[in-house]
Chains A and B, each alone.
Chain A
């Protein structure tokens, strides 16, 4: 009896086929992907993805690869080949699974795909696998379709600017590029975590989607040891010179007429001469550039720079040792041992940076994220887990963002302390009724704990009750590893569940919040959203049953992480999203309307309640982070729907106003006064930037 293997080995390209044709990179480009073993059916189709190789442009199916065939198993899958579609299937499977697994490792939990919305009482359905169509169209494009939960890859004929760079009219398959596959897979993963990030409510939103996908693809290069060592040797350890690690999609780039890769985090080829130059960060770019990819590359460059400075500080001692204390290396090739050590430091630093970027997702507001918020999320997530930043990772990030003029809004100074979201620490150890736990009777409820956000006693109690409920959720989900079960339990804890033979009734989180905070202006203030029953009309739909304003709970999740010092954090995080209908006339705010569902479950064919002319939906949201150990609400990371500044200075403490600053900003972005259309394609064929069902299909038009 032989044990199940831990990995399935599959051959593939580290980058894309073009590098296998270059003498200097051929031997590092063919690598073996090690994918955690899972049962596959021909396609291949596994737990997370299913590859279906249908080519609608010729109306043909291509033969599916069977990776369980003995010959495939003994030689690590099929030979890399551009002419065999079955290798293409193997490649998309391997590269997408690698991305998914790396992501899960950093996130500390299983990833779920965005769910399928349906027009009946089931409302949302679990999507176990995304589909991958390796040959879905004939154009230089590949995209994630949020509608179909599918990755579509195109192929096209090359039209290089210089015929010595690639063969004109040769076929280029986007599904053979590791970078493109990783990028698109990340789009899908991010959509599963933050489904509102597809909406262009500000200039950074779509850019963030692009940047984040690029970051994941880039840092995945550092997980290929041969590639890393080769590039370290080639650059003599200096990763701020031209190297493959910082570049994305070489073949695609040259095929559509660039001088090199599609994107490069460190430098770029001069369009006139074709000579590579180091990028100089400039603050004006962030102010001026609006095209999502170009804007996204500012964020990518910032993160990459944070990485290189961390890497430099980590190898300082090695370089001194290797150079006899001078810091100046001898001419010629580096000794192999040094290369290995440098590579291992680079891999470590890259892993840390990647972890910081992925962890930060849990600390982001659910809507309307901008780069500044993301920086704050990175810092907060890191401070939370790692108390002693002895290598100054956080400074490296702050510095790299500062050099590009990316500053968060609403902070008074730029420091780690002010960048970190304010710690609220509301709550106390309590039982399910909100009473102080007997076992912790030594803890008294201090009304004016200086460490604590000042809040009314009632609301504190309510939050303690919610926290107790979240503990239950944490317990229920802690040891569940089946993704569908995670989905179902989470859904029940949000939406509630009726009693059955096998399980008790659950009163859902949604309902609890609805009932509890009807009379808590303090909770409005904490979240920036509206929960109080008799608040003025701000264009928010009223709940039929409770009379309070309607809202949506998303992304309930348990986060358990272990820090480098053995410390553990156990948090339950969820986000609340609320929308308000606003009407603009002649470029100015005019009135509110109440957004109603656009369809009725009973009559799905009829379109209901179209917004009035000039009306659009404005969303506010808040991510709440509860600490299960102390039972306190630690952070409320908010994009407020209401005007908190005004509330602060207003005499009438319960008079709520809509956050005009944010509404205006969204109006400008979505209604043209800021000219925010990402490309000509979208101008002609879009339905307005805010309503595109396939944003990435449009976005990736090159």
Chain B
């Protein structure tokens, strides 16, 4: 094991060198490789990769310049070439020394990951730098659980200033308010942004050729409507309970529980439903979130190039030489979209293995309708309003409606199914997160999984294209996780945002560091009980040796700063800037060496 591990970076270094030296060198290398072909076929395969990357870069550059060269054609060509090269063969022994990339002006050697502290929710700026010179700027998401435009503005103004209102690449991971609502709350600031390119998950593509995205969107919209109906009914019930002032001992505890339940529902509604935003009219519950709609509109107006990415794709970006963006998720098949992990081995805590609550959803959708179409039994078995002659029928109804038995009525208990529905919707949308592994020179990896849950994590390891792609027989996804030096913790440190054996346990880099967008002072109430998951928190602290930065450590027992004072990190690896009004920092920034 140890041997394979040691060899890999060496090889990558060779590749990297090749990239730096560019096209001229490339040819030479390839020739050399051909000469050696008989001895080390493997090396040839590697060269092909080099070629692909370089070629692609060239194409992209051209595309930027002329916008004429069809990208797909170029990629195809490479694919053919690659296929022609046999892959399986013993490993070559490489004795060359590792050399650092030449100090070119645009050779990226560090990434400044800046987390804006808007409250629980994601908003990241990544600056890919050579020393202090910025080569490439990337933005990932913009949202928070709490706060209106006024609260958002200082941060977003600061952000705009920081990037000079210009970003090369915008990534929007998924449609949850804590990831997108900044785009609508500070719409005007973003309108003035220069945005080079924007990436979304394939699930956001309205013209997805398979039709799968459309189907998902439709289902999502139905679920949202159902949920909205259920929440309205529950709130009405809560009010009624409060007003009834029943003399039953349990009325109070019922009311309390009802309110606790509503609180949980509200949290999920805040994240998932547009109506809760207060900016939209009621009745639009099935629509997409205002933040998502706004940013798509802005991009459309700007005629920004938008890409919808699918797992297994590897994308490059202009200017970011030597950097590959590997798309891990969202999964393409619905099995993974709805899959749960086993507690202990897969995730820290099992989530509901509840299957589609379609029947309940149908009932919620039917709630305000005159005629009900989906009875579980034939109509002849129901008691009709006219059944006044049937004494049995009357007796049963009277028994149920009797005043002194009101405490035993079950009119509203079934609404609690909305809880499962909401969780399901929530986790489904989390699993549509665009999960990216950003790889530098075939070596170090920054992992941004959005809020992907277990089903998505598992699917990464099953991407067909990447099977035994690595010389050591590992699946490429596993290899990426092994090399991860920076991890944006999924779903604000909750138990379901990070896979266990197929996730955190594979992140074994010595340089591993992590960031979590959790602020228990600014969070939806219902999340307080799930974030952070103590076991996960401790595992990340252990693996990162304390290089773990949480938006706000308040109310977190045994936070990472107890293990390591971030200010003690050398070379200004950790920086932060306090807001003048004393309400905490604008941002927390960590600089990752990637060379």
Contacts and interface: CB of A to CB of B under 8 A. Distances in A.
Q: Specify whether A and B are partners.
A: yes
A125 to B, nearest CB: 10
Given A41-B395, A139-B417, A681 B410 contact: no
A50 interface: yes
B363 A117 contact: no
A64 B355 contact: no
B353 A702 contact: yes
B383 to A, nearest CB: 4
Which 7 pairs between the two chains have the least Cβ-Cβ distance? Answer: A117-B249, A159-B355, A687-B260, A137-B414, A684-B264, A685-B264, A138-B360
B393 A61 contact: yes
B525 to A, nearest CB: 10
B278 interface: no
Contacts of B392: 42, 63-64, 66
Contacts of B248: 116-119
B353 A147 contact: no
B6 interface: no
Interface stretch (A12-20, A78-86, A504-512): A78-86
Nearest to A118: B249
A702 B354 contact: yes
Contact of A136 (B355, B378, B410, B420): B410
Interface string A576-616: 00000000000100000000001100001101000000000
Interface in A112-157: 116-120, 131, 133, 135-140, 145, 147-150, 152, 154-157
Nearest to A173: B376
Contacts of A468: none
Contacts of A449: none
Interface string B381-421: 11100000010110111011000000111111110110110
A166 interface: no
A528 B343 CA distance: 39
A139 B408 contact: no
A691 interface: yes
Interface stretch (B250-258, B564-572, B573-581): B250-258
Interface string A37-64: 0000111010000101111111111111
B342 interface: yes
Contacts of B360: 57, 137-139, 156
Interface in B408-439: 408-414, 416-417, 419-420, 423
A694 interface: yes
A138 B260 contact: no
A178 interface: no
Contacts of B413: 56, 136-137, 145, 152, 697
A677 interface: yes
Interface string B356-368: 1111100100100
B35 interface: no
A679 B350 CA distance: 7
A84 to B, nearest CB: 7
Given A604-B247, A675-B534, A687-B257, 14 more contacts: A41-B395, A52-B396, A56-B414, A58-B374, A63-B383, A83-B377, A138-B360, A139-B359, A256-B354, A673-B534, A679-B350, A681-B423, A686-B260, A687-B256
A561 B383 CA distance: 48
Contact of A139 (B357, B383, B495, B526): B357
B408 A131 contact: yes
Contact of B396 (A42, A56, A257, A291): A42
A83 B380 CA distance: 11
A84 B377 contact: yes
A680 interface: yes
B412 A43 contact: no
A61 B359 contact: no
26 contacts: A52-B400, A54-B400, A55-B376, A57-B360, A58-B363, A58-B375, A59-B372, A60-B382, A62-B381, A118-B247, A136-B410, A136-B414, A140-B354, A152-B413, A169-B358, A171-B376, A173-B376, A675-B533, A677-B529, A679-B350, A683-B530, A684-B264, A685-B265, A685-B419, A697-B416, A701-B352
A111 interface: no
A271 interface: yes
A45 B396 CA distance: 10
Contacts of B94: none
Contact of A150 (B268, B408, B529): B408
Interface in A664-694: 672-673, 675, 677, 679-681, 683-688, 691-694
Nearest to B397: A61
A97 to B, nearest CB: 19
Contact of A680 (B265, B349, B359, B416): B349
B229 to A, nearest CB: 12
A525 B233 CA distance: 54
A120 B250 contact: no
A270 to B, nearest CB: 12
B354 A139 contact: yes
Contact of A679 (B261, B352, B359, B396): B352
B34 to A, nearest CB: 45
B400 A61 contact: yes
A680 B396 contact: no
Given A53-B396, A148-B407, A683-B530, A63 B264 contact: no
Contacts of B264: 684-686
Contact of A138 (B265, B343, B357, B557): B357
A297 to B, nearest CB: 14
Nearest to B248: A118
A137 B416 contact: yes
A607 B530 contact: no
A152 B245 contact: no
B420 A701 contact: yes
Interface in B146-176: none
Contacts of B249: 116-119
Contacts of B407: 116, 147-148
A685 B528 CA distance: 11
A150 B408 CA distance: 7
Contacts of B390: 63
A291 B343 contact: yes
B267 interface: yes
A257 B363 CA distance: 22
Contacts of A149: 408
Nearest to B361: A138
A103 to B, nearest CB: 22
Contact of B352 (A43, A52, A145, A702): A702
Contacts of A173: 376
A131 B410 CA distance: 11
Contacts of A52: 396, 399-400
A62 B495 CA distance: 43
Contacts of B252: 598-599, 607
A57 B534 CA distance: 39
A52, A57, A131, A604 — which one has the most chain B CB atoms within 10 A of its CB?
A57
B191 interface: no
B249, B342, B350, B496 — which one has the most chain A CB atoms within 10 A of its CB?
B249
B535 interface: yes
A61 B382 contact: yes
Contacts of A83: 377-378
B296 interface: no
Contacts of B268: 684
Contacts of A692: 257
Contacts of B350: 291, 679-680
A114 to B, nearest CB: 11
B351 interface: yes
Contacts of B352: 679-681, 701-702
B356 A56 contact: no
A63 B381 contact: yes
A680 B530 contact: yes
Nearest to B528: A683
Nearest to A677: B529
A147 B363 contact: no
A138 B419 CA distance: 12
B395 A137 contact: no
Nearest to A156: B359
